[in-house]
């Protein structure tokens, strides 16, 4: 059981971990690859767990099998708006032949790793939140505010059939929440020998572009100049050589201010110099960062990025195609519109091709200061004394962008360790897996946070 004040004792933390791992393994066995999604499988699993505890819920489908589940534990006499525990149940695709274990097997190996697509992104957090939610009901914890559990569909594609659809069409289920706990932050970051945990308080937008190249068709036995494929090649070279402007957005400024506060000596002075500069340069910040991993991470959150990923060209080997399309995954910083970004890329490509927007998802940022952020830091103080939680910009896009009136923080922490550093590249990569102790740490944090913030004293 929880100790006085509901903080999880070591014994109770072990119970939470065991249950979260059980739910995680069950969720990993459900193939919710998006597209097509079929998140109904996960919604039905979660519903069965809620049914067992007598907790009401709603499953709402934005399209056949694209199921979103929302449940609520109500405070008897609430004195504050609800807290939303959110996650998505869809996962990205896999190349099965590249995996050492079944990506939908939910296997637990002898070293304590749970394997499967979604182990990190983000069925482990969904499992932890479900565990916390069920335990709040079992223990009859008196609440000071409602606690909402939401398992959304479609995040890995656009969120339009998941969080976006629920917010737009069933806002009554979640729209009164004041704060939300989401994915995207909490992994340990080390700069200058000092480790902190990032608190997602903004994120880049994903405005996908399609570039169409046109040229004369012909027989491939007789080369002709300026084909659509040749234009594609030149455009790829120009995109690869382009370096978008180094930009310190408000969330990144807060990260650097937090770094300066925990650093000493020369490193502290270097970070402060970057902050004070009228026209800071990337090389000045890069000089502060001691590893290639740190530099890649900070590069991504201080620059717009345009990464070509899909090409469609021709359908016969002996025909020069008259049209070629290139899709570019673009992650844009808060502060630029999708149309403004399109115009920038068009300038880079010039008259080689025509650039159009496929999605118009812009970056978001908010002031992270709040009682909930204070509660997150206080909870970490109890688990990892001396570890600072510093606001950050998330380089990817999450469902937070859809919840326009809810202050949505990206944070599900892991304790610093060698294995956590090894997780980089596993989310969306081959052999995705997570250690049971990291599942347990996140769940223990979540329990301590929710009970300290939402339970009556």
| pLDDT at residue 291 in the model | 82
Mean pLDDT for 319-325 is 97
Whether the predicted pLDDT of 250 surpasses 60:
yes
Mean pLDDT for 146-170 is 97
Kind and range of the H or E element at 17? helix 10-28
Tens-place pLDDT, residues 91-103: 999 999 999 999 9
The rounded Cα 197 to chain-centroid distance in angstroms is 15
Helical packing angle, 292-302 and 250-262, nearest 10°: 140
Taking CA atoms, 436 is separated from 112, 198, 413, in Å, by: 6, 22, 14
Confidence at 191, pLDDT banded by 50, 70, 90:
confident
| pLDDT at residue 3 in the model | 39
CATH 3.30.70.360, applies to 205-244+304-357: yes
Class of domain 4-184+398-454: alpha beta
Backbone angles phi, psi at 218, to 5 degrees: 175, 180
| pLDDT at residue 2 in the model | 40
**What mean pLDDT is reported for the chain?**
95
Rounded to an integer, what distance in angstroms lies between the CA atom of residue 151 and that of residue 182? 11
| pLDDT at residue 265 in the model | 87
> What are the boundaries of each domain within the chain?
4-184+398-454, 205-244+304-357
Whether the predicted pLDDT of 8 surpasses 90:
no
Whether the predicted pLDDT of 192 surpasses 90:
no
Whether the predicted pLDDT of 5 surpasses 80:
no
* Same fold: 4-184+398-454 with 205-244+304-357: no
Strands, DSSP E only, in 285-387?
A: 305-313, 319-320, 323-332, 354-357, 364-365
Rounded to an integer, what distance in angstroms lies between the CA atom of residue 239 and that of residue 241? 5
DSSP state of 312: E
Percent of the chain with pLDDT over 90: 91
Q: pTM of the predicted model, to two decimals?
A: 0.92
């Amino acid at each position: 059981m929880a100790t006085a004040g509901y903080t999880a004792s070591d014994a109770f933390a072990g119970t939470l971990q065991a249950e979260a791992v059980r739910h995680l393994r069950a969720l990993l066995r459900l193939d919710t690859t998006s597209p097509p999604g079929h998140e109904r499988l996960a919604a039905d699993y979660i519903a069965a767990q809620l049914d067992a505890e007598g907790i009401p819920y709603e499953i709402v489908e934005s399209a056949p099998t694209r199921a979103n589940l929302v449940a609520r534990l109500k405070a008897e006499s609430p004195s504050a708006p609800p807290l939303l525990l959110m996650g998505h149940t869809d996962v990205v695709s896999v190349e099965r032949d590249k995996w050492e274990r079944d990506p939908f097997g939910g296997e637990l190996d002898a070293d304590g790793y749970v394997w499967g697509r979604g182990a990190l992104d983000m069925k482990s957090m969904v499992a932890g939140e479900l565990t916390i939610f069920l335990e709040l009901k079992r223990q009859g914890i008196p609440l000071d505010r409602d606690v909402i559990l939401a398992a959304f569909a479609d995040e890995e594609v656009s969120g339009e059939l998941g969080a976006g659809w629920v917010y737009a069409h069933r806002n009554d289920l979640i729209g009164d929440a004041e704060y939300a706990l989401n994915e995207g932050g909490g992994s340990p970051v080390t700069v200058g020998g000092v480790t902190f945990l990032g608190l997602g308080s903004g994120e880049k937008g994903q405005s996908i572009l399609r570039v169409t190249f046109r040229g004369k068709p012909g027989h491939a036995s007789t080369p002709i100049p300026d084909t659509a494929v040749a234009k594609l090649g030149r455009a790829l070279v120009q995109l690869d050589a382009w370096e978008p402007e180094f930009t310190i957005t408000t969330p990144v400024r807060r990260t650097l201010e937090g770094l300066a506060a925990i650093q000493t000596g020369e490193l502290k002075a270097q970070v402060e110099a970057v902050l004070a500069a009228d026209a800071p340069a990337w090389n000045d910040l890069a000089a502060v960062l001691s590893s290639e991993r740190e530099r890649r991470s900070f590069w991504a959150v201080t620059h717009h990025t345009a990464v070509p990923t899909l090409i469609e060209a021709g359908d016969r080997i002996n025909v020069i195609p008259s049209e070629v399309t290139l899709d570019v995954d673009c992650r844009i910083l808060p502060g630029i519109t999708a149309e403004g970004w399109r115009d920038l890329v068009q300038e880079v490509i010039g008259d080689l091709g025509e650039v159009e927007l496929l999605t118009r998802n812009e970056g978001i940022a908010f002031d992270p200061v709040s009682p909930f952020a204070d509660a997150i830091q206080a909870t970490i103080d109890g688990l990892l004394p001396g570890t600072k939680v510093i606001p950050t910009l998330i380089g990817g896009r999450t469902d937070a962008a859809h919840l326009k009136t809810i202050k949505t923080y990206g944070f599900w922490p892991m304790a610093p360790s060698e294995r956590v550093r090894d997780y980089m590249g596993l989310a969306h990569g081959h052999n995705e897996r997570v250690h049971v102790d990291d599942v347990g740490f996140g769940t223990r944090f979540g329990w301590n946070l929710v009970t300290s913030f939402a339970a009556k004293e």
